[in-house]
Structure 1
Amino acid sequence: MTTLWLTVLIILIYFGCSVAYLLILTLAGKYNYRNPWTLGSTQPTLYRRIAIVVPAYKEDGIIVHTAQNLLDQDYPAICFDVHVMADSLRPETVARLRGLPLTVWEVAFKKSTKTRSLNAFFIRNRQPYDVVLICDADNMVGSDFLSKVNAAFDQGARAFQGRRVAKNTDTSYAFLDACSEAINNHIFRKGTSALGLSSAVIGSGMAFEYNMLRDILASIDAVGGFDKPLQLKVVARGIKIRYVEDALIYDEKIESGDAFGNQRRRWLSSQWVYLRRYFLPGWVQLFRGNVSYFNLAVANNIVLPRALLLGALPLVAAGAFFVDPVLGWTGVVLWVGYLFTLAMALPKAYYGKDLIKALIRLPGAMGRMALNLLQLRSADKTFIHTLHTRTTISNNVLNR
């Protein structure tokens, strides 16, 4: 047994565990998911007071449209308020926002982050609320979104994650990003919920008990990926984050390769940072019986991002043939199994000519992600802002 042979075997074991983990969650989401949060037209026991908080950093092009959309709810107007955290917005944008029935909080930071904007809201706000809904400046929601949040809390939820879908799918990169979002929804939210575990959050379209979120965020000052420590602090309290599949929140998808690369660099950085930080606490929580904490802290983060895993597996399999044909064929089997997993996790509505066009862009996207592995340290220290421009929904997939 040579050192090279053993090294390839260890790598294949890692990939095998990753594929098995993703396959189990995919199968659970497809065949074992029963939505306990089916939100019908039953009369709520009460209308909770909900604060919609929108951190807006240099989002002059879209924030007014977003605010108008969030105000258009079939929820009693007296029971919800929209709060825009205006960070580095132009004076004319702030003036337009002040003309709407919402609250504008102008904030300025030496280093702007979403966490600091949210904490500023909790420090300044003096109105009583039961629930906080966090949205991004590019998000849009249906007019029944708050009703679904309220219904979920009526049924015992204390933490809520809606299903984030693409606002736009009219370029290949946007469609590729939309596919990635749909796969992640199936695996990390629908699949985990099917196994009785806490759903992962996404950073927007998520709602929490007001006092709980205020207390938790006060202990977080993350540059990027604040949702990862947030979800861990929630499940550490024994609270499951409930995934509500029929509560849709629309999120703008990137439209260029450069934007795709920058976005993934931020995500890769937060994944690596929080894996290191919570690896040991994750195992401690597992031995205490908190499987949801371990799943979110360790299992979710130790698996390579889906696109990188898709590119790395065939490369490892090809190299393994030079070491041992058995190892090579093992790599091929794992790659085929992973392709099957992704195909099953992607909703049928996404299949068609648009998917073929997007797959042509996939090698370039994987290359950018691989290059971004060399820049993870800088991504953790600097807030990487993605410019948003879309003010309408142009997602043809959801109409199929």
Structure 2
Amino acid sequence: MMLNILFYLWIAFQVIVATYLLQPLLLLLVHGCIKLFKSEKKISAADSHDYSFAVVITAHKNLQLVPPLVDSLLKQTHGNYTVYVVADNCGDSDLGMEHAKVKLLKPETPLNAKIRSIDYAIQHFETPHEVMVILDADNLVHPLYLETLNRYFNKGYEAVQTNMLAKNNDTVYAQLDAAGNYFSNFIDRRMRMELGLSANIWGLGIALRTSLYRQVVYNNFFGGFDKKIQADIVKLIPQLAYAEDAIVYDEKIDDGNALETQRTRWINAYFKYFKYGWDVLGTGLRRGSFNLVFFGYNLLRPPLFLQVLMALVFCLTNYWIAPALSWAWLGVLAAFPLSFMAIVALMSEDSRTVKALFYLPFFFFRQLKAFLHMGKANKAFLQTQNNKIVYIEEVMNK
């Protein structure tokens, strides 16, 4: 009896991992059907209300990357906004510019946490802004960014994740990092929006009603900002939207060491905040909400390299336990990389990004090393070093 129970649990676990790996292929097929049989939905250009935006930029110990971001914000076609730059522990440095729309905030006591910096900015809002946008210091935004967001909020959305594209794409690692963004944008954002489901957020480029953000209560101020905020707000609103036409540019990692640092932090966060996935899934089951069940199910999804690693283990072990399943796993292991490459080719406009996919085994190896050193993230604050000082015109001209 016990052996039978263990066998069926073994099979169930394999089915779950297989559904994660086959989801990209399924969504590609759905996307093809939508293109064939449905006209493309577009957000209307008509704005019935001119929303007031508070753009919050969190900078820690360094302000050198902020001026290009502020410059891109001052070129917005939508004029009803104020930029709040929280210079946390940045000493006496300033932006080297003054503008009525830009407020430089310098906390007297170091905050040392993104969540605290955001709260500090909210406490210093000069007017009761209806919508707040959260950006990182190394970002840039398209001139139509706020104008596009204004249309989405006029449509009734209360929280909108914007489209993150690469600010730099000049190394293989940067191209592979960008490829990962294209992939996750497709399966976790574009297709969710197409199907009327809530999209996942990044830790940047998220716009939401200020009143909605105030309902998120943080018990831990160090890390997990995006994990906590999306797990809370997805339960409060009908749909967490994705605005693919509202573009924010983000700096990509450009070498293997930076990749390991970044992924060590990300992998640690996945396990540390795993409970949020169960919370959303349980809430969805209690409410009978497919949107929340699907969202929670995907929050529980392991990082891609772990999914592939588990698939390889299943394929090998089933050779002795259930040979037919071993062949099935070979099919899954063939389908996943093909669907991954197809999605990147569909989403990317840079042929270098597609060509860089041949270097994915090196990327996989670096992530495996990051996994083995995951404990470092609990002992020290691992910050990815960003240093690309470029302006919006340079990025758009590329």
- The corresponding residue for 1:206 is 206
Unaligned runs of 5+ residues in structure 2 are none
* 1:268-347 equivalences in 2 (<5 Å): 268-280=267-279, 282-296=281-295, 298-347=296-345
1:384-395 equivalences under 5 Å are 384-392=382-390
1:87 aligned residue: 88
Q: Please, what TM-score do these two structures have when normalized by structure 2?
A: 0.87
What is the CA-CA distance between 1:289 and the residue it aligns to? 2.3
CA distance in 2, matches of 1:311, 1:30: 29
Stretches of 4+ moved more than 6 A in 1? 1-8, 33-37, 393-400
1:38 corresponds in structure 2 to 42
Aligned to 1:129, the other structure's residue is in SS state coil
Measure the CA separation in 1 of the matches of 2:39 and 2:167. Answer: 24
Secondary structure (helix, strand or coil) at the match of 1:135 reads strand
Which residue in 2 is equivalent to 1:251? Answer: 250
In the alignment, does 2:52 pair up with 1:49?
yes
Task: Judge conservation of contact 1:54–1:85 (CA < 8 Å) in 2.
Answer: yes
The alignment partner of 1:52 has SS state of: strand
Q: CA deviation at 1:170?
A: 0.9
Distance 1:398 1:125, change over 3 A: closer
Matched, 1:74 2:77: yes
Shift of 1:32: 3.2
- Conserved? CA contact 2:69–2:141, under 8 Å: no
Deviates more, 1:248-257 or 1:331-340: 331-340
What residue number does 1:145 align with? 145
SS in 2 for 1:150: helix
- Tell me, what secondary structure is at the counterpart of 2:354? helix
- Give CA-to-partner distance per residue, 1:170-192, whole Å, 9 cap, x none: 10000000000000000001122
- 1:335 deviation in Å? 0.8
Map of 1:54-65 to 2, 5 A cutoff?
A: 54-65=57-68
Range 270-279 or range 328-337, more displaced: 270-279
Give the 3 Å change call, closer, same or farther, for CA 107–2 of structure 1 in structure 2: same
Q: Tell me, what secondary structure is at the counterpart of 1:107?
A: coil
Deviations, residues 279-320 of structure 1 (Å, cap 9, x unaligned): 155223323123333333x32232222233335434542453
Shift of 1:256: 0.8
- Offset, 1:162: 1.1
Alignment length, in residue pairs?
393
Q: Which amino acid counterpart does residue 248 of structure 1 have in structure 2?
A: I
| Counterparts of 1:384 and 1:85, CA distance in 2 | 20
Query: Which residue matches 2:176?
Result: 176
- The CA distance in 2 between the partners of 1:37 and 1:80, in whole Å, is 28
Note the C-alpha offset of 1:327: 2.7
Amino acid in structure 2 at the alignment position of 1:69: S
- What secondary structure does 2:70 align onto? helix
Aligned counterpart, 2:17: 15
For 1:256 and 1:81, locate their aligned partners in 2 and report how far apart those are by CA, in whole Å: 35
> Identity, % of aligned pairs?
24
Alpha carbon RMSD of aligned pairs, Å?
3.1
Deviations 1:169-223 (A, max 9, x none): 110000000000000000001122222211111121111111221332x435342
Give yes or no for contact 2:148–2:246 (8 Å, CA) kept in 1: yes
Q: CA deviation at 1:123?
A: 2.3
Deviations 1:220-270 (A, max 9, x none): 534223112111211211331111111111111000111111111222222
Q: What TM-score does the superposition give when structure 1 sets the normalisation length? A: 0.87
Conservation of the 8 A alpha-carbon contact between 2:67 and 2:95: no
Residues 15 and 334, structure 1, Cα contact 8 Å, conserved in 2: no
Counterpart of 1:231, as a letter, is: Q
**DSSP 3-state at the match of 2:270:** helix
Task: Give the unaligned 5+ runs of structure 1.
Answer: none
Once the two structures are superposed, residues 349-391 of structure 1 have per-residue CA deviations (whole angstroms, 9 ceiling, x without a partner) of 457455334432x223222322333443442564321111113
Contact 1:28 1:194 in 2 (8 A): no
